[in-house]
Structure 1
């Protein structure tokens, strides 16, 4: 494992109790960062954080006021937040758009897009004041390619890409890098929300013939949140195993 120097950094990882978020937090902790895990499942986040020697806060990222309070609490406990990874997200059920449950559509957009907005909005003022920060938003190959019967998820992740590009330009003069990754399906519990048929469809779209390993995503993110990433911002990094066409 390459060693990325994150000593002196404080990282907040949403959805950090499991899956991609936890793997990224673990890699950052191994690189010297203090980590605070945010997750809607408080006990899950607490146990995950304990294994990393970090802190945790139970927070619903769709609640703007709760996110602002969580940011203040995180900084009061562990110091200024210099790294944010927006990994909290939901996939939702597979269904054609004309039959998609309206409440579920709104819930997916609320978590994946509005949640990312809320967290960035809470983190950016402090980063601007200090003239430094690193933000990574977890989008998806679905945001670039679109997945059939997953219009809500695809739309939410496409919007995260747009948000990333816009915010990256806004903050380019502050030494704040804002980038996104677009992973293909990873071996995480999010697969439990999908049918076996849809899972096999997704696997079949990946030229490498397998799903993403969470450690592969963590390795890319560790560099993106480091001081070594001093130029690239507003960019989208592909983790699709060859699936992406652009």
Structure 2
């Protein structure tokens, strides 16, 4: 369960699941790159991780741009000396009907939520192979990668692709000893959820078995486990951290 001497990138690390994942990984001893477009938030989270006794560096990145993700991977190796893991977590969403969704709105979510995972896998795995590292990738999918939701056409498409890329990535990289897994959260009580009206929050929470929103640290603990050798039998699969949503939704 220990991650000492591991060097892991977390994208979207400034808030929500990413923030809690940084702390969960740091508690297991991993050194970290906290990557986010919000550099001030990333710097604050990096300081929290350092207070837990590990190395942590903030890095500003737009994960929708291939060259910036490639530079992020190089930065990680420069600062940490290696790269053993990457949590492809950064994502956005915008509720909008298919008829209202113009190509720019569609592509924005696809570029951030889907293309960024490809960039992370591509550049991260190339670096691991170059270094001779048998690393681990964890990709943030969603329950909405498996079921449809009104107003989420682009998000549904992106997260379904993440699940598929997790399977394909695991198959492609197995010969190099690199493991690729996914996590599919349910409705998480993140800062973005604070802007959702109480009635809507209650409706989302009611779709979980416990009738509560999931706290981000609960997903982060699953993510941290997936990076450990204890999870070595999990490969190519996307683990639902959804409080029963996919198993019991009717």
TM-score range, shorter chain: over 0.9
User: Per-residue deviation at 1:198?
Assistant: 4.5
Partners of 1:192 and 1:108 lie apart in 2 by 21
With normalisation by structure 1, the TM-score equals: 0.93
With normalisation by structure 2, the TM-score equals: 0.91
Do the aligned partners of 2:64 and 2:115 also contact (CA within 8 Å) in 1? yes
Partners of 1:236 and 1:118 lie apart in 2 by 19
Partners of 2:157 and 2:113 lie apart in 1 by 10
User: Per-residue deviation at 1:195?
Assistant: 5.8
The aligned counterpart of 1:90 is: 92
Q: Deviations over 1:163-183 (max 9, x none)?
A: 101001111222211000111
The aligned counterpart of 2:208 is: 206
Do the aligned partners of 1:177 and 1:229 also contact (CA within 8 Å) in 2? no
User: Per-residue deviation at 1:192?
Assistant: 5.1
The aligned counterpart of 1:117 is: 118
Unaligned stretches of 5+ in structure 2? Answer: 51-55
Partners of 1:195 and 1:142 lie apart in 2 by 21
The aligned counterpart of 1:215 is: 217
The aligned counterpart of 1:9 is: 6
Matches within 5 A, 1:171-210: 171-191=173-193, 198-210=200-212
Aligned residues: 242
Aligned partner of residue 98 in structure 1, secondary structure:
coil
The answer to whether 1:137 aligns with 2:139 is yes
- Between stretches 161-170 and 42-51, larger displacement belongs to 42-51
- Between stretches 189-198 and 10-19, larger displacement belongs to 189-198
Superposition RMSD in Å: 1.7
Q: Deviations over 1:38-83 (max 9, x none)?
A: 0011111111111111101001001111111121112111111101
Unaligned stretches of 5+ in structure 1? Answer: none
Partners of 1:139 and 1:98 lie apart in 2 by 24
The aligned counterpart of 1:70 is: 72
